[in-house]
Amino acid sequence: MTTIPTPEMPWPWRKSTRSPLTNYCVEWRPAGYGVEVRDSKDAGGPVLSFGTDAWSAFIAATLDGSFDRA
């Protein structure tokens, strides 16, 4: 049986496989309107919410190198 996320029981948080084994990373999870992001060091802290268009633009810019350090 598949569980459908609800506000009371949302999707689990995910961490990048490229993150170190410590808790110093950003975590994300799908939300009904897009994606939520939080700091893994402060799991009870603030959560940023992004719509699907904004999240897609961020991923595209990341993949094309827009955020690479010179």
13-63 pLDDT per residue, tens: 888 776 666 667 888 899 888 999 998 888 889 999 999 999 999 999 989
**What does the domain layout of the chain look like in residue ranges?**
25-70
Residue tagged 């940023």 (tokens):
48
pLDDT score recorded for residue 9: 65
Q: Which among 13, 8, 6 is positioned nearest to 48, based on CA atoms?
A: 13
Q: What's the distance, CA 13 to chain centroid?
A: 7
pLDDT score recorded for residue 17: 72
Instruction: Decide if pLDDT at 2 tops 70.
Output: no
pLDDT score recorded for residue 50: 94
Residue 27 burial (CB count, 10 A)? 19
pTM for this model (two decimals)? 0.71
pLDDT score recorded for residue 60: 95
Q: Which among 54, 61, 60 is positioned nearest to 37, based on CA atoms?
A: 54
Q: What are phi and psi of 37, to 5 degrees?
A: -135, 140
